[in-house]
Amino acid sequence: MKNILVMLTLVIASTVAQARDNQTRITLTYGPQTAEQRIQSLEQRAQRTEMRLREIERYLNNGSNNYPEPVPEVRETLCTSKNSSTGKVFLASGANKIDAGFNSIKACQSDPYTYSASYCNAEPTCESVIVNAPVVTCSIQQSSNGKIFKGDGRNHLEALFKTQSVCQSDAYTYSASYCSGTAKTDCSE
C-alpha cells in the first residue's frame, strides 16, 4: 500500500516537472489556459495529494480506527418455504434472494406429501449467510407434548430450519404444525 502511494507521488511530481520544462506543449494540449496557470493547478493538486498521502500514512502507522469497518462478505442466501397444508418447512440456498427463493419453493413443490403446488406459493423467508459469522442456536418446544428440540446454523433462518426438521422427524410428532406456528421458539448467537 505504501509503495503505491509513493509511486503516485512520484508520478505527480514528475508531471509538474515536465510541465515547467515544456510550457508550449501544455498550452497546445490544454487550450486557452496558460502554461503558468496549468503549472499552478498541477502544483496545487500535487500538494493536496501529498496531504492525503500523509493522512493515509499516519493511519497505517498508528493503526487508527477512524475508518469504517469493512462490509461483511456474503457467502450465499438461504430461503425457507412452508407447505401451508402440512406445515412442513423447506430450506434451499442460492446466489441471491430470487435464486434461493425459487429453489425453496421448488423443494416444497417436489415433496411427495405436497398434493398441490399452490400450497407452496407463499413468499419465502430469506436471509444471507455472512462469512465468519457466529453460530446461531435455536430451540423449539413442541406444542403437542412439550418436548424440546435444538438446532445450530450459520444464520437464524438455517438454525430455525434445522431445529424444526429435528422436531418434525421425531417419532411422536404426528403433524409438522406442532413444530411451527404455536410451538415455542428461542434463538441466540
Cβ proximity of 139 and 185 under 8 Å: yes
Counting other chains too, the contacts that 170-176 makes at CB distance below 8 Å and 24 or more residues apart are 170/142, 172/145, 172/147, 173/142, 173/144, 174/144, 175/86, 175/87, 175/144, 176/83, 176/86, 176/87, 176/88, 176/89
The number of angstroms, rounded, from the C-alpha of 48 to the middle of its chain's C-alpha atoms is: 34
pLDDT average per 10 residues of sequence, the chain (189 residues): 61 60 48 69 79 77 63 82 85 89 90 80 85 84 82 87 83 68 66
pLDDT of residue 1: 55
pLDDT in tens, 73-94: 777 899 988 888 888 888 999 8
Specify the 3-state DSSP secondary structure of 123. coil
Instruction: Read off the pTM.
Output: 0.54
Task: State pLDDT tens for residues 107-138.
Answer: 988 888 777 778 887 888 898 888 778 888 88
pLDDT score of 24: 45
The pLDDT of residue 119 is 83
